[in-house]
Amino acid sequence: MTAPSDFRCNYLRTGIALAAGVATDVDVPIDGAADWQVIVKNTGSTNAVTALSVTRIPLTLPGPAESVSTGIPLAHGDSLRIAGEREPISVLRLTLTSTSGTTVTVEAGGR
């Protein structure tokens, strides 16, 4: 998929497997976009995403991980939006955990 010319980031990754009880990092390239959003969708058949933390990486050194509690657990078929306004970063690192294992899709866009 080609990004529209006014988008700094345009990212889609499907079928990300979360093994049972294993924290999985997903690095989402924001590419310096100041206004961005990331959508995490649980596409597994039954199990929930039970933990999520986000780490903003402005250039190369990550900031502190921030635990996300609103919207967690993320049930099958549900989505969670994470956004930044006037917050240019290089990468948003998601650390996702599912107690029983599931799959997710991550999509991002920003200007």
Note the pLDDT of residue 71.
94
Q: How far is CA 30 from CA 8, 34, 73, 100, 111, in A?
A: 7, 9, 25, 29, 9
What pTM value is reported for the model?
0.89
pLDDT for residue 4 is more than 60: no
Domains of the chain: 9-110 (2.60.120.380)
Give the burial class of 25: count Cβ atoms within 10 A of its Cβ; 0-12 exposed, 13-18 middle, 19 or more buried.
Answer: exposed
User: pLDDT tens across 64-94, in order?
Assistant: 999 999 999 999 999 999 999 999 999 999 9
